[in-house]
Amino acid sequence: MLEHPVHLVTVRDEGEAEVVCGLLRASGINSGWNVTNMGIAGVSTFGGAREVVVGRSDLEAAQAVLARAP
């Protein structure tokens, strides 16, 4: 369970959320995702948009990891 979860990024589907969370976990950052009710163009059949969250204290590190990602 994340302590003080904060929004990191919204992605198109569950598959993309799992990729982002895996990247963060590989960098030692605990993360999770939530189902959203946001509509995003190009949503796949994985059930729609997901919000990736991290602990407040990990937010800057998580943003740096995503900035370096291809």
Q: What is the pLDDT of residues 15-68, one digit of tens each?
A: 999 999 999 999 999 999 998 865 555 544 457 889 999 999 999 999 999 999
DSSP-derived secondary structure letter, 33: E
Residues facing 50 on adjacent strands: 11, 35
Distance CA 45, CA 21 (A): 19
For the domain covering 5-68, report its CATH number: 3.30.70
Of the two residues 12 and 41, the one the predictor is more confident about is 12
Please determine, for residue 14, whether its predicted confidence score (pLDDT) is greater than 80: yes
- Token pair, residue 21, equals 């969370």
Residue 45: the pLDDT is 46
Q: What is the pTM of this model?
A: 0.83
**Are 66 and 25 a contacting pair, CB within 8 Å?**
no
Domain ranges of the chain: 5-68
Q: Which two tokens stand for residue 14?
A: 């569950």
Q: How far apart are CA 4 and CA 2, in angstroms?
A: 6
